[in-house]
Chain A
Amino acid sequence: MENSKITRRGLLKSGAAAVTAVGATTIGAPTIWAQNIKDITLRQFGTGVSNLNDVADKVKEDLGFTLEMTALDSDSVTQRAATQPNSFDIADIEYWICKKVWPTGNLQAMDTSRIANYDKIVGIFRDGKLTPESEIAQGTAPHTVGFVDGPDGKEFVQEQSGWMTLIPTIYNADTLGIRPDLIGRPISNWSELLNPEFKGKASILDISSIGIMDMAMVVESMGEYTYPDKGNMTREEIDMTIGIFTEAKQNGQFRAFWKSFDESVNLMASGEVVIQSMWSPAITAVKSKGIPCVYQPLEEGYRSWGGGIGLSKSLSGLELDAAYEYINWYLSGWVGGYLMRQGYYSAVPETSKDFMTENEWGYWFEGKEATDVITSPTGDKLAEAGETRDGGAFEERMGRVACWNAVMDENQYMVRKWNEFIAS
């Protein structure tokens, strides 16, 4: 079914388009587009971080067509992209998921010549380098799964081939979140997660592909082992890594594991946990309750992730044009500004600048002291004047990424071991 180019829906649409085209010849071409695009609905799904109704509303306002948003958790996103190709037009997925989903053939590569701001996309997503000197971090770095050899390519290629798998939309550098009021001393290493001082008050996330990377950061920080590639462990390395954490678990180090954003917020806000792996907006959510919470930059660097939008294989014709229109709009700044004002980064930061105040740009991107109150796009106060962002400026933060969320060659083995860890 997914291979057939003609669907009933597509037929109706193009039929309607033809009729309108004939009727509109006297009025002029742009109107045809403007008239037809209103009828288009694109269905997008992805994780809650970037599937926001505000974006859908703005799309309707700026571009005229309807974008239906479905927000799911990471695992459900993978499942949907891999098993229900006809249930979406646009997949907003993470780069490491791409490695699992691309071989199913449910997505189509994007022609970079149709993407206006392609050249302005941050280097990390094109050649892997933030600056010409920067080293490429371990794990599934986005550029390694960013390109394929042609419109129907199945294999990832390592150079900018002109055919992109995902258009980067959102990314960030993650670290541990702490409750400074309950810890009362500086924290500067990943190894603190397993410090017996925090026995029964630590937590880690129960999403294996991400959790194993956090574990690896901790193991290296403890000085137990240095991985040749944290993002692609051998079976022995997986056993060793999970073994260390299983022992800690049995000694009662952890209070709980979390799987969703809300759970991590609740654990931290209620004081059940004082140190845990966490996501940046979750820290913001804790802070907005008036509870002190810090996204602590650590000596060993950050574990990073990136998301992007991919197009369903079944998209064609006017709908495909609308999707490209949407991608170009996405990179043109409004969404970027919206995401950056939440603490994420946009694929094309320079266009986002136009949609942020000087104070916001200085605080979020340049790591400067806020000159006025910083608020989230929804109006919550995030920082007072005089505060600076954790981790500093964009280049400083993203330049200290030690690894990317990854899918390993031994992924299945790792997943089974992870299950054992949870059950142990």
Chain B
Amino acid sequence: MQKFFARNTVAGWLMVSPLAVILLFFLVMPIVMIVIVSFWQATEFSIIPAFSLENYEFLFGSSVTYRVFLNTFKYALITWAVTLVIGFTVAYYLAFHIRSLTWQIALFLLCTIPFWTSNIIRMISWIPFLGRNGIANSTLISWGVIDEPLEWLLFSDFAVILAFVHLYTLFMVVPIFNTMVRIDKSLIEAARDAGASGAQILWNVIIPLTKPGIMIGTIFVVTLVMGDFITVRFMSGSQSANVGRLISNDIALLQYPSAAATAVVLLVTVLIVIGILLRFVDIRKEL
């Protein structure tokens, strides 16, 4: 008995088992269910538990699927690029330009203020702002910048990406800021002493050291954007679709197996994207 417990591996297994059980029940099992259901058939009012590839055949056979996936990637890529630039700049400012810790914390909290209201409220508040007779258009007209209201401000890809950036930039700021404050300031001094310019320090010292933060932020933003459907629906006026909307439409129409199949494809896609991202950086080292 003594020998049994003395073995590290057993104690280790026992220690992880509560978490393992929780993950098994609330993560693995639902995913397995989704995969199983994705092979079933459905009519309007019933689900037929018989193996069938029909859902996948339809999914891969439709040009809409590819267009929608492309659209999803487009949203993810543009949002990622914009949030990265903004997030990095904000984090850089907080980490290197604000000297006192109190101010760092105060300004950091300032960034989180928009998050005190719900996602949907923050998003919907853009609609009267960007509308045909909204604040943005009337201001621009009164300044004489434009004569006619800009139609593309609202219910367009522009509006969707704007809302995404607004909603998800903080997810970029936090991890980047977190890694930046851990950078040893003496490294920067050493670089400066060695004659490096500001740009060289940024490129050769700071960016490589914040890469894990960037990567974590990227994973947050990419997965959030790829799974979001409500933002796309509201901000495009239901005129564009991403994969999330495809799934939500299916569910609304009781097509659970078809929704499950789309979800499986989306899950696999996201996992591949994350797999590729993780090749660039060893996150474990950072946690």
Q: Is B31 an interface residue (CB 8 A)?
A: no
- Given A78-B254, A272-B154, A407-B44; A422-B249 close (CB under 8 Å): yes
Task: Pick from B68, B155, B241, B253: contact of A75, CB below 8 A.
Answer: B253
Q: Is A420 an interface residue (CB 8 A)?
A: yes
Q: Is the CB of B238 within 8 A of A256?
A: yes
Q: Is the CB of A103 within 8 A of B45?
A: yes
Q: Is the CB of B64 within 8 A of A270?
A: no
Contacts of B151 in A (CB 8 A): 200
Task: Pick from B44, B131, B134, B238: contact of A422, CB below 8 A.
Answer: B238
Least distance between B60 CB and chain A CB atoms (Å) = 14
Contacts of A272 in B (CB 8 A): 131-132, 154-155
Task: Pick from B131, B238, B253: contact of A257, CB below 8 A.
Answer: B238
Q: Is B51 an interface residue (CB 8 A)?
A: no
Residue of B nearest to A267 (CB): B237
Q: Is B106 an interface residue (CB 8 A)?
A: no
Q: Is A90 an interface residue (CB 8 A)?
A: no
Contact indicator per residue, chain B 121-157, by CB within 8 Å of chain A (1) or not (0): 0000001100111100000000000000001001100
Q: Is the CB of A423 within 8 A of B68?
A: yes
Residue of A nearest to B248 (CB): A75
Contacts of A419 in B (CB 8 A): 64, 241, 246, 249-250
Least distance between B47 CB and chain A CB atoms (Å) = 10
Query: Which residues of chain A from 73 to 129 have any CB-CB distance to chain B below 8 Å in the complex?
Result: 75-76, 78-79, 82-83, 100-101, 103-104
5 tightest CB-CB pairs across the interface, nearest first?
Answer: A256-B237, A257-B238, A423-B241, A75-B252, A420-B64
Contact indicator per residue, chain A 172-186, by CB within 8 Å of chain B (1) or not (0): 000000000000000
Q: Is B89 an interface residue (CB 8 A)?
A: no
Q: Is the CB of A412 within 8 A of B43?
A: yes
Can you report 16 A-B residue pairs in the complex whose CB atoms are below 8 A from each other? A79-B254, A83-B254, A100-B44, A206-B238, A208-B253, A254-B239, A256-B155, A256-B238, A258-B238, A407-B44, A419-B64, A422-B249, A423-B64, A423-B71, A423-B241, A424-B64
- Given A208-B253, A420-B62, A423-B246; A411-B133 close (CB under 8 Å): no
Residue of B67, B128, B233, B236 contacting most chain A CB atoms (<10 Å): B233
Least distance between A8 CB and chain B CB atoms (Å) = 27
Residue of A nearest to B132 (CB): A272
Residue of B nearest to A102 (CB): B45
Q: Is the CB of A415 within 8 A of B255?
A: yes
**Number of contact residues on B: which range applies?**
35 or more
Least distance between A12 CB and chain B CB atoms (Å) = 32
Contact indicator per residue, chain B 241-261, by CB within 8 Å of chain A (1) or not (0): 100011001111111000000
Contacts of A422 in B (CB 8 A): 238-239, 241, 245, 249
Contacts of A407 in B (CB 8 A): 44
Q: Is A143 an interface residue (CB 8 A)?
A: no
Contacts of A290 in B (CB 8 A): none
- Given A256-B239, A416-B58; A423-B127 close (CB under 8 Å): no
Q: Is the CB of B68 within 8 A of A271?
A: no
Contacts of A13 in B (CB 8 A): none
Q: Is A255 an interface residue (CB 8 A)?
A: yes
Q: Is the CB of B132 within 8 A of A271?
A: yes
Least distance between A265 CB and chain B CB atoms (Å) = 13
Contacts of B237 in A (CB 8 A): 203, 254-258
Least distance between B157 CB and chain A CB atoms (Å) = 13
Residue of B nearest to A81 (CB): B45
On A, residues with C-beta under 8 Å from B are 75-76, 78-79, 82-83, 100-101, 103-104, 200, 203, 206, 208, 249, 254-259, 266, 270-272, 407, 411-412, 415-416, 419-420, 422-424
Contact indicator per residue, chain B 213-256, by CB within 8 Å of chain A (1) or not (0): 00000000000000000000100111111000110011111110
Contacts of B128 in A (CB 8 A): 270
Contacts of A416 in B (CB 8 A): 58, 62
Residue of B nearest to A75 (CB): B252
Query: Which residues of chain B from 39 to 66 have any CB-CB distance to chain A below 8 Å in the complex?
Result: 43-46, 58, 62, 64
On B, residues with C-beta under 8 Å from A are 43-46, 58, 62, 64, 67-68, 71, 127-128, 131-134, 151, 154-155, 233, 236-241, 245-246, 249-255
How far, in angstroms, from A266 to B130 measured CA to CA in the complex?
Answer: 13
Residue of A nearest to B155 (CB): A256
Least distance between B181 CB and chain A CB atoms (Å) = 43
Least distance between A308 CB and chain B CB atoms (Å) = 18
Q: Is the CB of A266 within 8 A of B127?
A: yes
Contacts of B238 in A (CB 8 A): 206, 256-259, 422
Contacts of A423 in B (CB 8 A): 64, 67-68, 71, 240-241, 245-246
Least distance between A329 CB and chain B CB atoms (Å) = 31
How far, in angstroms, from A286 to B240 measured CA to CA in the complex?
Answer: 26
How far, in angstroms, from A206 to B249 measured CA to CA in the complex?
Answer: 10
Task: Pick from A76, A104, A256: contact of B46, CB below 8 A.
Answer: A104
Contacts of B253 in A (CB 8 A): 75, 208, 415
Contacts of A83 in B (CB 8 A): 254
Contacts of A256 in B (CB 8 A): 155, 236-239
Least distance between A140 CB and chain B CB atoms (Å) = 13
Q: Is the CB of A271 within 8 A of B43?
A: no
Least distance between A85 CB and chain B CB atoms (Å) = 12
Contacts of A82 in B (CB 8 A): 45, 254
Contacts of B43 in A (CB 8 A): 412
Least distance between B197 CB and chain A CB atoms (Å) = 49
Residue of A255, A415, A422 contacting most chain B CB atoms (<10 Å): A422
Q: Is the CB of A79 within 8 A of B252?
A: yes
Contacts of A78 in B (CB 8 A): 254
Contacts of A270 in B (CB 8 A): 128, 131-134
Contacts of A104 in B (CB 8 A): 45-46
Contacts of A255 in B (CB 8 A): 155, 237
How far, in angstroms, from A149 to B252 measured CA to CA in the complex?
Answer: 30
How far, in angstroms, from A415 to B258 measured CA to CA in the complex?
Answer: 12
How far, in angstroms, from A272 to B238 measured CA to CA in the complex?
Answer: 14
- Given A75-B253, A416-B58, A423-B67; A101-B45 close (CB under 8 Å): yes
How far, in angstroms, from A256 to B131 measured CA to CA in the complex?
Answer: 12
How far, in angstroms, from A423 to B251 measured CA to CA in the complex?
Answer: 16
How far, in angstroms, from A360 to B186 measured CA to CA in the complex?
Answer: 83
Contacts of A206 in B (CB 8 A): 238
Least distance between B282 CB and chain A CB atoms (Å) = 38
Contacts of B71 in A (CB 8 A): 423
